[in-house]
Chain A
Amino acid sequence: MITGRRSPRLVSRMAPHLVPHLAMARTALITLLSHYRRHPGQLAMLLVGLWVASALWSGVQAINASARDSYARAEALLSPRLERLERRDGAPLGYADFTTLRRAGLPVSPLIEGTIELNDGQRLNVLGIEPLSLPAGGIGEDRRTGNGGEDGANPLGLLQPPGQTRLAPETLATLNFSPGERPITAGGERLPPLVIDAQLPPGTLLVDIARAAELLKRGPRIDTLLLAPGTPAALPAAYRRTPAAQGLSPGQLTESFHLNLTAMGLLALVVGLLIVHAALGLALEQRLGLLRTLRALGVPGRTLVALLAVELVLLGLAGTLPGILAGLWLANILLPDVAASLEALFSASVGASLSLPWHFWAGSLAITLGGLATAGLGMLWRTARLDILALGHALSSHADSRRRQRRQAGLATLAWVFALGLWAWPAPSGTPSLIAGFAMVALALAGSALALPVLLGAALEGLKRCLGGNSPRTALIRWALADLQLQLPRLQLAMMALLLALATNLGVTGMVGGFRLTFLDWLDQRLVADLYLRPPPAAYDSWRDWLETRPEIATLLERRETDTRLIGAEGERPVALQGISADPALTASWPLLATLNADRAAAWQSLREGAALINEQLAIATGLAPGDMLTLASPSGPFTAQVAGIYPDYGNPRGEVTLTVERLIQRFAAKPGSMGLVLTPGLAAADEAALRQRLTRPLPASGEALAPSLVDQRSVHRQARQVFERTFAVTRALTGLTLGVAALALFTGLLAQARERRARLAPLWALGLGRTTLLGVTLAQLGGLALATALLALPLGVALNWALVAEINVAAFGWRLPLHVFPAAWVQALGLAVLVALLAAALPAWRLWRAPPRQLLEEFSAS
C-alpha cells in the first residue's frame, strides 16, 4: 500500500527542510485513508451522501439558473428604457397613429406581438418590429449596428426578401429545424428563413412587422408604439405614455415558484449531508485509536488535523463532481416539465434545454463543499482536542450521550418555540411572507428531527420497563431493546433523514392531492359550457346574432377580457378585468369563497346591477373584502363598484376583477372575446356533430373570411389537467428522490456498522441462539424503529401539509387551499418506511446469516 518514498526533486531543491515533512504527511495520509479500504461501506456512504446532496441541489439550481437566463433575455428583449405609447381614448393603434407621431417629429417605432401555431402544433410568440425606425439598443445590443457578423444580424436582413425569422438557438433545437429552413404555419404559410440570434429569449420569433402582420392576420392594427428614451415629455394631446408597471416581469412572477424549488433542493442537500455527517462521525470514531497511535509515532497534532482536512477535500471532490454531473442529467430530464408549467402558470417562456452561467458551477461546488466542511468541522475539532494519552480508549461514555441527549432536546424545544412564534405572530405587513413561511417549516422540521432520537430512546426505555416475565422470549426481547438503545446513536442520523423525507413526502403529497381535488372541482364549476368558440373579432357580433337563433344552443355565455388599473389609496396596481354573462347557467355553480352576509344569490344579483367580484389573489394582496368599494381606471374616467364577493382563481398569477360583460363593453371598450355554448339538453348526436362542423367554417353573413376557433370542454379540461400534472411532476420527483436518499442513508448506515453488529451478535450465537433467530431479531429491531419513526412522521406530515396550503401557498401564489388528509397515504407511508428499513437491513442481515460459524467465532474472540 505504501510505496517507496520518492520526494519530488523540485521541492527538495527549493526547500530541503520541507522534504521530510512531505514524506511524513504523505505516509500519514495514506495510513489514514487505508481505513476506508477495510471499511468500504463507510466510503460508499460518504460518497453516496455527497453525490446525492450535490446532485439534487445542483439539479434544482441548474433548473433555476436556466430559467433565470431565459427571463433575463426576455426582459432584455425590449429594453426597459423604451417607453410605450397608447391612445387616450383607448382605441387600438394603427399605422395612421405612427405616421401622425412621426410627422410630429417623435422617434416612435411600431411593434406587433402575437402567437402563431406551426403545422406540427407548436405555438410560438411572434414579435414584429420595424427595423429602420427601432430606437438604438431597443432590442438586444447589436441589432442596429449591423455588425452581427455571420449570424446575419444586419437590420436590413429582416427587410430584404425573403426576409428573416430570428430565433434563439434553443428554439431552433426544439423546433428541429436547421438555419435557413422555412417552417410552415398551421395556416399553410411559410415563415422567412430561420436565422440564429442568441440574444432572443426561447420561444420567440423576431420578424419584420409586415411579415408579422400577415402571419398574425392583424390587418392595419399595431399593438404598441415604442418611444426612444430621452424623448421630451410633451406628447400630442391624443396620446399618453403607457404606465410602466403594466405587468410584472416574468422574473418577479416566477420568483415564488423558484423559491419552492430551492427549498426542495435545500431539503435534499440537508438530508444528503446528514448521511455525510453520520459517515464522518463513524469514520472518526473508528480511527480514534489510529489517530492516537500516529501521534505517539511522532505525527504532530496539527498535521493530523490538516491531513483530515485534506481527506475531506479529496472525498468532497470525489463525491461532488459526479454529483453535479448527475444533477445536470436530472435537470435535463425535469426541465421540459418545469418549462411547461412556467409557461402555463405565468406565461413565462423558458428554454427546454439547459443554459448555465459559469457561476452555477462555482456555486454548486461551493455549497456542497461548504456543507461538507460544516459536517466535517466537528470531526476536525474532536481531532484537534484529542487526548493523546487515552490511547485506544472507547469514546463516548454514558454520561456523554446523556448530556448530548439533553442538549438535543433543548435545541428541539427551542426550534419548535421559534416555529410556533413565527406562526402566531405573522409578518407586520399583513400579507404572509414566503421566507417566514419557509423558516417556520424549516424550524419545525429541524426541531422534530432533533427530538426524534430523544423520543425513540424514551420509547425503548419505556418498553423495557413494561416488559415483565422471565421467559426466554422476554429475555431475548429485552436484549433486542437494549441492543437497539446501543445502536441508536449510530442510526439516529439515518432515522432523522427518514423522518424528514417521510414528513415532506406526506406533506407534499397531501398538498398536491388536495390541490388536485380542489382544482378539478373548480374546473367543473367554472367550465359549464359544452363548447367554447372564439370568432374572428370583426365577425363576433354576426356570430352571436346567428347563434342566438339556433335551437341547438340553450345558453350563450359571453366572456371578454382587458387590462386596467386598480386605483387605491396607496397608488395604482395593474389588474386583469373580465366580463362574464351573469346567467344562472354559469352563476349557479361558480364557486364563491366569501360574499356579503354569505348570500350567494344576492352577490350575483348585485353583480348584474353593477357590483364587482374579485379573485382571492387580489383580495389577499389588497385586503379588499365583500362590501368594500373599489375603483378602476377606465377610458372614460374612474369606475367605482362595490365588491360583492371573492372567488377562487387557481393557476392565475394576477389579480383579477370580474364585472358583467355589458359593463366591459360600455365602460372599458373591451375587445370581443370568446363565447361558451351550453347545448340544449337531449340534443341528438348527429345535430351536435353538424353544429360543430358548422362552427369550424367562416360565417358568410359576416363578410369575414376567417373561421372561428372552437374547443370543446373536454379538451379544455384535459389541457388544464395536463398543466396541473406537469406543474407537480417536479415536486413529486424531488420528494420521491428525497425518500430514496433517506433509504440510502439507512442502508449505508447499516452497512457501515455491519462488522460491529456481527461482533455484537456473535456472543448470542455462541450462547446458543440460531442464526435464523438472530436474523429475525435484527429485522424486527429495524422494522420497529422505522415504524416508530414513521408514526412520528404522520403528525409532522399533516402539519407540513397545513403549512403548505395555508401559509406557503398563500404567500407564493396568493390562494389558500382547504386542508385535505389522505389516510391511505398514511398507511402507504408507514408501509414504505418499514419496507425501506427492511430493504436496508436485508444485505447486512443476509451476510450475517451466511457468515460461517468460524467467522462468527473470530469476531466473538475479537470483541
Chain B
Amino acid sequence: MLEMRDIRKAYATPQGPLSVLEGVDLSLAAGASLALMGESGSGKSTLLHLAAGLDTPDSGEISLDGQRLSAASEPARAGLRRTRLGLVFQQFHLVPSLSVADNLTLQARLAGRETPDWSGELLTRLGLAEMADRYPEQLSGGQQQRLAIGRALAGRPALLLADEPTGNLDEASAETVLTLLLELVRDSGCALLMVTHSTRVASRLERRLTLSHGRLLAEEAR
C-alpha cells in the first residue's frame, strides 16, 4: 500500500539546513493501521505530508499503490491524493461557504466517485444527519472534526492519513470521534496512518512506530 525507503528531508532555515528526517523506512499493508508517535518537532507531520505527496523528500523513494510518488508530476500527485487518499488534520479545514452535506461529499465529487448511499450512511453514523443543511461555523468542535473525517472517507480512499485528529478536542469527544473513526476505517477496509501523542490512542491501532532524531525506533510489538 504505502512504501517509504530511506527518506531524507531537511528544511532551509536562516540558521542553515535543519535535517528532520534522516533515512526513514516505513511500509504499510492495505487495510492495516499504524500509529506514528514521537516528541513535538520530531518530524511526524513532515513524514505525513511526504506520504500525502503534499511535499517531496530530498532523497528516497515513496510509492503508493505501486505508483512512485517521488517521480510523479504535481498534477499526478494531486490525482492520487484525490482518488486514493483521505486526509484529516488537527485543524479541520472545512469549507465555510459549503453546507455540512456539501463539505462531506466535496472530495468524493472532486474525484468523481460519489456514492449517495455511502454519503448518507456516513452522515448518519457521524451523527450529522440532522445538521446536513447547516454551515461549519454552526457546529461544535467535535462535530466539525467528525465532518472532516466523513469528508476524508466519503470517496472510499485506500489510505487515510490523520495528523492528530483528536488533538483539538476534549477527552470525552476525542474518545467518541476516535471510536467512530476506527469503526468506519475498519468497515470501509482502508489502511490508516495516524499521528498521535497519546499511547492510549496508539494502543487501539495494529502497529505503533516512534520517530526520534530523524529515524524510526524499532517497532514495539503489541
Chain A residue nearest to B46 in the complex (CB): A389
Q: Do B54 and A389 have beta carbons less than 8 Å apart? A: yes
> Which stretch, B77-85, B122-130, B190-198, B201-209, touches the partner chain A?
B77-85
| Assembled-state Cα–Cα distance A5/B107 (Å) | 13
| Assembled-state Cα–Cα distance A37/B98 (Å) | 9
Chain A residue nearest to B79 in the complex (CB): A298
- On chain A, the residues within 8 Å of B87 by CB distance are 296-297
Give the interface of B toward A (CB within 8 A).
49, 52, 54-55, 74-75, 78-83, 85, 87, 89, 91, 93-99, 102, 105-107, 109-112, 114, 116, 135, 137, 151
Q: Do A20 and B93 have beta carbons less than 8 Å apart? A: no
| Assembled-state Cα–Cα distance A297/B78 (Å) | 8
| Assembled-state Cα–Cα distance A293/B94 (Å) | 8
| Given known A24-B82, A31-B98, A298-B79, contact A2–B109 (CB-CB < 8 A) | yes
A289 in contact (CB, < 8 A):
yes
Shortest distance between the CB of B31 and any CB in chain A (Å): 21
Q: A200-234 CB contact bits vs B (8 Å, 1 = yes)?
A: 00000000000000000000000000000000000
For B52, B55, B83, B96, which residue has the most chain A Cβ atoms within 10 angstroms?
B96
Q: Do A298 and B93 have beta carbons less than 8 Å apart? A: no
Q: Do A298 and B111 have beta carbons less than 8 Å apart? A: yes
Q: Do B112 and A23 have beta carbons less than 8 Å apart? A: yes
Q: A462-487 CB contact bits vs B (8 Å, 1 = yes)?
A: 00000000000000000000000000
Which A residues from 6 to 58 make CB contacts under 8 A with B? 19-20, 23-24, 27-28, 31, 34-35, 37-38
Shortest distance between the CB of B123 and any CB in chain A (Å): 15
Q: A54-69 CB contact bits vs B (8 Å, 1 = yes)?
A: 0000000000000000
Q: Do A19 and B112 have beta carbons less than 8 Å apart? A: yes
In the assembled complex, 23 residue pairs joining A and B whose CB atoms fall closer than 8 Å, in A order, are A2-B98, A5-B112, A20-B112, A24-B82, A24-B109, A27-B106, A28-B110, A31-B97, A31-B106, A34-B97, A38-B135, A294-B110, A296-B81, A298-B82, A298-B85, A298-B111, A299-B78, A299-B82, A300-B79, A301-B74, A391-B89, A392-B91, A862-B137
Chain B residue nearest to A301 in the complex (CB): B74
- On chain B, the residues within 8 Å of A299 by CB distance are 78, 82, 110
| Assembled-state Cα–Cα distance A19/B111 (Å) | 10
A792 in contact (CB, < 8 A):
no
| Given known A34-B98, A38-B97, A862-B137, contact A297–B112 (CB-CB < 8 A) | no
A701 in contact (CB, < 8 A):
no
- On chain B, the residues within 8 Å of A516 by CB distance are none
Q: Do B102 and A298 have beta carbons less than 8 Å apart? A: no
Q: Do A37 and B97 have beta carbons less than 8 Å apart? A: yes
Shortest distance between the CB of A854 and any CB in chain B (Å): 13
Chain A facing B: main interface SS: helix
- On chain B, the residues within 8 Å of A1 by CB distance are 98-99, 102
| Given known A5-B109, A5-B112, A31-B98, contact A300–B93 (CB-CB < 8 A) | no
Q: Do A295 and B78 have beta carbons less than 8 Å apart? A: yes
Task: Please name the 9 residue pairs, one residue from A and one from B, whose CB atoms are nearest each other, closest first.
Answer: A298-B82, A298-B81, A300-B75, A34-B97, A20-B112, A300-B78, A23-B112, A27-B109, A38-B97
Q: Do A20 and B78 have beta carbons less than 8 Å apart? A: no
| Assembled-state Cα–Cα distance A687/B74 (Å) | 99
| Assembled-state Cα–Cα distance A19/B112 (Å) | 8
**Other-chain residue from A19, A296, A302 in contact with B93 (beta carbon distance below 8 A):** A296
Q: Do A391 and B93 have beta carbons less than 8 Å apart? A: yes
Shortest distance between the CB of B53 and any CB in chain A (Å): 9
